[in-house]
Amino acid sequence: MALKTQLIPYTLKFKFDAGTSRGVLQEKKTYLLKVWNESHPEVVGWGECGPLAKLSIDDYEDLNDRIAPLIKMIDGIEMPKNTQAIYDLAFKIAGFDYPALRFAIEVALLDLMHDGVRKVFDNDFYHSQNQIPINGLIWMGHMENMLLQISDKVVEEFDCLKVKVGSLDFEKEVDILNYVRRKYYNRQIMLRVDANGAFKPHEALYKMKTLAFQNIHSIEQPIAAGQHDLMAELCANPPIDIALDEELIGVHKKEEKKQLLAKIKPQYIIIKPTLLGGIQSSLEWIDVAESLNIGWWITSALESNIGLNAICQFTYEIKARGHQGLGTGKLYENNFDSPLTIKKGHIYYDRNKEWDLTELDYGEFI
Distance CA(294)–CA(244), nearest Å, equals 11
- HSE-CB of 271 using CA atoms within 13 angstroms: 30
> Is the distance from CB of 110 to CB of 298 less than 8 angstroms?
no
Contacts for 272 with CB less than 8 Å, ≥ 6 apart: 245, 298, 299, 300, 301
Contacts for 239 with CB less than 8 Å, ≥ 6 apart: 205, 208, 209, 211, 212
Q: What angle do CA 60, 330, 56 make, to 5 degrees?
A: 20
Name the active-site residue from 28, 153, 164, 257.
164
Distance CA(332)–CA(103), nearest Å, equals 21
Residue 123, SS3? coil
DSSP strand pairing (268-271 vs 241-244): parallel
Distance CA(248)–CA(239), nearest Å, equals 22
The helix (run of H) or strand (run of E) holding residue 7 is strand 3-20
Name the active-site residue from 272, 319, 330, 353.
272
> Is the distance from CB of 366 to CB of 9 less than 8 angstroms?
yes
Please provide residue 207's backbone torsions phi and psi, each rounded to the nearest 5 degrees.
-65, -40
257 among known catalytic residues: no
How many Cβ atoms are within 10 Å of 54's Cβ, its own excluded?
9
Of the candidates 4, 10, 5, the residue with the CA atom closest to the CA atom of residue 357: 10
DSSP strand pairing (340-343 vs 346-349): antiparallel
272 among known catalytic residues: yes
Of the candidates 173, 178, 235, 177, the residue with the CA atom closest to the CA atom of residue 198: 173
Residue 243, SS3? strand
Which residues form the catalytic set?
A: 164, 272
